[in-house]
């Protein structure tokens, strides 16, 4: 099925973009920093992650070699502000080990893999779930993979565009059926959904009066 450029998924994107403007995701200087950030931000506000990343940088440890040799307890101390620091230290180490083993520590080699293949492999790394892996693929690898998060589920369920009990995969497929595989579009769309979720759609009420999506219609489906 060819995605049409006039369906409600595009309409919502346009509304959000007009309201919030470009979000400039992912806020990281390197791909490695992006990936570490994706792990650290699991169920954690980005503010707390920024401090953790600053600490790793200050230590001069934001390099594959350093992250490989650093002791888990030391890494945990550096990322303390991001919460779940013991688990996340282990998750970072798990990823680094995978990167070393499969790609000799080269992110360029890793990202040269086909997206579907890389997705499956990253999902087998303990501590990398669907949202984290898809973020890495989209924002780190520039692959056209749509990232689904809790806001996406909440907001689009509220608008009747996904079913309440749809799986992650089903929601992702819904978006990718309706949108052209465009990295920049997927990048901005997910970031805009987060912007909306953070601002005014936190409540469980259906559409507050200031919501940029308050007049959205679903008769274009």
**Does residue 202 bind DNA (CB under 7 A)?**
yes
Nearest 10 degrees: Cα torsion 73, 140, 144, 188: 100
Q: What is the SS3 assignment for 203?
A: coil
Part in contact with DNA (CB under 7 A); list of ranges 65-73, 100-108, 177-185, 191-199? 191-199
Nearest 10 degrees: Cα torsion 154, 36, 122, 174: 20
Q: Are 43 and 149 in contact (CB under 8 A)?
A: no
Q: What is the SS3 assignment for 20?
A: helix
Nearer to DNA, 7 or 157 (CB): 157
**Does residue 199 bind DNA (CB under 7 A)?**
no
**Does residue 43 bind DNA (CB under 7 A)?**
yes
Part in contact with DNA (CB under 7 A); list of ranges 8-16, 65-73, 171-179, 196-204? 196-204
State the CB neighbour count (10 A cutoff) for residue 104. 10
User: Taking Cα atoms as reference points, which of 26, 20, 63 lies closest to residue 137?
Assistant: 26
**Does residue 85 bind DNA (CB under 7 A)?**
yes
Instruction: Pick from 130, 173, 176, 183 the residue near DNA by CB under 7 A.
Output: 130
Q: Which residues bind DNA (CB under 7 A)?
A: 25-27, 37-38, 41-48, 51, 80-81, 83-88, 126-133, 135, 139, 149-151, 165, 167, 194, 197-198, 202
């Amino acid at each position: 099925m060819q995605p049409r450029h006039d369906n409600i998924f595009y309409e919502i994107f346009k509304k959000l973009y007009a309201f919030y403007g470009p979000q400039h995701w992912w806020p990281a200087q390197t791909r490695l920093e992006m990936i570490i950030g994706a792990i650290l931000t699991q169920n954690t506000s980005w503010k707390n992650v920024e401090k953790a990343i600053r600490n790793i940088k200050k230590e001069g440890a934001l390099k594959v070699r350093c992250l490989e040799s650093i002791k888990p307890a030391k890494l945990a101390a550096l990322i303390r502000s991001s919460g779940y620091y013991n688990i996340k230290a282990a998750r970072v180490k798990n990823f680094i080990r995978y990167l070393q083993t499969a790609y000799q520590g080269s992110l360029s080699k890793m990202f040269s893999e086909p997206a579907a293949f890389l997705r499956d492999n990253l999902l087998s790394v303990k501590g990398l779930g669907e949202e984290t892996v898809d973020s890495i693929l989209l924002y780190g690898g520039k692959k056209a993979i749509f990232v689904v998060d809790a806001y996406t589920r909440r907001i689009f369920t509220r608008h009747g565009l996904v079913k309440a009990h749809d799986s992650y995969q089903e929601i992702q497929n819904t978006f990718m059926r309706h949108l052209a595989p465009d990295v920049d579009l997927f990048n901005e769309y997910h970031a805009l959904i987060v912007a909306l979720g953070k601002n005014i759609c936190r409540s469980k009420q259906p559409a507050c009066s200031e919501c940029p999506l308050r007049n959205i219609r679903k008769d274009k489906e």
